[in-house]
């Protein structure tokens, strides 16, 4: 069983998260903490595998707490659950090793996906002493293919979440090669004019790098993922 600690100062939210976990096979709640001080005391005496950690709490916030437990080499994984949707904060948490980041309010389906993916990776990594390059690549690909976790909560007028997700998946399928608007339009079965709007949006976010290629005829915009590590905050 995967041992879970919930760190949440709101009793109602903590209770809801507890109910969610209890619906998931293979997980067990070993403790509840209302602040990071209580959580730190708990993890120094009790073995856990996964911490569900809120960001905004009295005392030390969740990001700083995550820094502290990394400095102490605590052997546990963390999923952040918070109302904070600031992209720089999300990126910071991912750099500190958070395995997922759920933005409130979220539905059980999204919570379920996060824990199901975690359990899958946990089982693969704990049941073996060694892992092949192919298996490792599959784990890393799954990690970078989460497509619903960290979309900006508000999109520019005329853009929709579902279309953005479709285009992002087409981009991931092309990666690491560069691609044109036309190639994504064909792969996603979406008009070139619409695709251009989404590619501009993703470029402005820093998700894509845009290059204007001059040749015979009109110039063509080419795109590629700007940095592999910037995928997760936007998908």
Pairing mode, strands 208-213 and 100-103 = unpaired
Residue 5 — pLDDT band, cuts 50, 70, 90? Answer: very high
Question: Nearest Cα to 223, choosing from 181, 163, 170?
Answer: 181
Does the pLDDT value for residue 88 go beyond 60?
yes
Predicted confidence at residue 151, as pLDDT, reads: 47
Strand partners, 33: 7
pLDDT per residue over 89-142, tens digit each?
777 787 788 888 888 888 888 899 889 888 887 866 565 556 566 655 655 554
Q: For residue 29, is it left (φ>0), alpha (ψ between -120 and 50) or beta?
A: beta
Same domain, 121 and 12: yes
- The torsion defined by the Cα of 91, 12, 74 and 24, in degrees rounded to 10, comes to -90
- How much is the CA Rg of the chain, to the nearest whole Å? 20
Residue 149, in any domain of the structure: no
The number of folded domains in the chain is 2
Does the pLDDT value for residue 75 go beyond 90?
no
Same domain, 191 and 85: no
Same domain, 74 and 122: yes
Predicted confidence at residue 99, as pLDDT, reads: 87
Of 144, 179, 205, the position where a domain reaches its end is: 144
Same domain, 137 and 168: no
Does the pLDDT value for residue 2 go beyond 80?
yes
Which of residues 52 and 149 earns the better pLDDT score?
A: 52
**Pair of tokens at residue 84:** 């904070």
Predicted confidence at residue 148, as pLDDT, reads: 39
Q: Is 60 exposed, middle or buried (0-12, 13-18, 19+ CB in 10 A)?
A: middle
Of 116, 144, 172, the position where a domain reaches its end is: 144
Same domain, 74 and 132: yes
Question: Nearest Cα to 220, choosing from 198, 196, 197, 202?
Answer: 196
Average pLDDT, the chain: 81
Q: What percent of the chain stands above pLDDT 90?
A: 32
Residue 31, in any domain of the structure: yes
Q: Which of 47-51, 68-72, 129-133 has the highest mean pLDDT?
A: 47-51
pLDDT per residue over 204-228, tens digit each?
877 888 888 876 667 788 998 875 4
Residue 22 — pLDDT band, cuts 50, 70, 90? Answer: very high
Predicted confidence at residue 229, as pLDDT, reads: 40
Predicted confidence at residue 132, as pLDDT, reads: 61
For residue 67, what are the domain limits? Answer: 2-144
């Amino acid at each position: 069983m995967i041992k879970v600690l919930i760190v949440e100062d709101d009793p109602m939210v903590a209770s809801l998260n507890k109910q969610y976990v209890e619906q998931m096979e293979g997980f067990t709640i070993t403790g509840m903490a209302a602040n990071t001080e209580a959580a730190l005391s708990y993890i120094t005496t009790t073995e856990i595998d996964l911490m569900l950690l809120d960001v905004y709490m009295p005392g030390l916030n969740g990001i700083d707490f995550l820094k502290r437990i990394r400095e102490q080499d605590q052997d546990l994984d963390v999923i952040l659950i918070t109302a904070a949707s600031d992209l720089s904060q999300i990126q910071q948490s991912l750099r500190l090793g958070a395995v997922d980041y759920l933005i409130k309010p979220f539905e059980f389906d999204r919570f379920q996906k996060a824990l199901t993916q975690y359990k899958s990776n946990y089982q693969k990594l704990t049941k073996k002493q060694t892992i092949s390059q192919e298996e490792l690549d599959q784990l890393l690909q799954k990690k970078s293919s989460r497509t619903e976790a960290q979309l900006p909560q508000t999109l520019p007028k005329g853009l929709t979440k579902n279309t953005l997700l479709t285009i992002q998946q087409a981009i991931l399928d092309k990666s690491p090669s560069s691609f044109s608007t036309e190639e994504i339009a064909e792969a996603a079965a979406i008009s070139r004019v619409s695709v251009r709007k989404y590619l501009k949006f993703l470029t402005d976010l820093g998700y894509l790098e845009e290059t204007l290629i001059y040749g015979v005829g009109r110039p063509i915009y080419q795109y590629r993922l700007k940095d592999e590590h910037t995928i997760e905050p936007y998908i």
